[in-house]
Copies of this chain bind each other. A is one copy, B any other.
Amino acid sequence: MPSSEQPSSKTPSSSTSSTPSTSPAAAPTPGESPELIWLRPERTGRGPRPAHSRTSIAAAAIVIADAEGLDAVSMRRVAAALGAGTMSLYNYVPKKEHLLDLMLDAVAGEYDYSGLTPTGDCRADLRRLAHEQLAALRRHPWVPTLVIARPGLGPNALRYTEHFLAVTEPSGLDGTARLEALALLTGFVCQFAQYERTAAAGAKWQADLAGYLGRAAASGEFPHLAAAFATTGAAADSPDAVFDRSLDRVITAALAPVGTA
């Protein structure tokens, strides 16, 4: 909802793999039209062939979001990018929310699990997975905002979940604990990416904040905060160092056996 977008780098590996045939959807619409777009069949087979696809629509929307931020993603903009009339989009996507779902799942489809499949070392696998995830979020800085609002779980997200469960199998935790671990870890990565994003957003904002915090610290009302800033101010670790440090902690927390605190 807020603006303050930086252009961000173009998506280099925008493969957006979609597995068109094997996705677990495609039931013939049970009762009414389902709320989840993944339960709506993409094609029913009758009439003229559609000129576009969910995948291409999501890709177009992602290009816009990467370049100009989420606010720039409007039905009109996406339709125009596809060379289609605005209302034609509604033949593919019942509501804009569903377009956002498609975008999120397309990003989830960018992961390449081939480089990080088996090894028995749970921690190392998770570390690599988290780094892959962080890279994706850096490519698409609008994802954290969206993913916290909509749990999603499209076919590509399912594949991600499956991979996570496979990787954490040697941990000895049961399914529930491992799903909670997944939530913990992806939440952390999203949060970190978001932090990075706002940190890099604008020099003005940054300067204003620094001034504000400085004045707050100087007011004497916040002694601990002042102390913390006194020790921090000079250092300013590299983002990746901070990420790795916290990531290790989060992995530890996520993999801790249930009884342990």
Contact = CB atoms under 8 A, between A and B. Distances in A.
B35 A205 contact: yes
B39 A212 contact: yes
Interface residues of A, number: 86
B222 A158 contact: yes
Interface string A1-42: 111000000000000000000101101001000111011000
A16 to B, nearest CB: 19
Interface string A33-53: 011101100000000000000
A148 interface: yes
A176 interface: yes
A211 B146 CA distance: 23
A42 B219 CA distance: 18
A216 interface: yes
Contacts of A195: 151, 183
Interface in A151-185: 151, 153, 155, 158-159, 161-162, 165-166, 169, 174-176, 178-180, 183-184
B176 A231 contact: yes
Interface in A69-96: 70
Contact of A2 (B97, B188, B213, B225): B97
A38 B149 contact: no
A240 interface: no
A216 B205 CA distance: 45
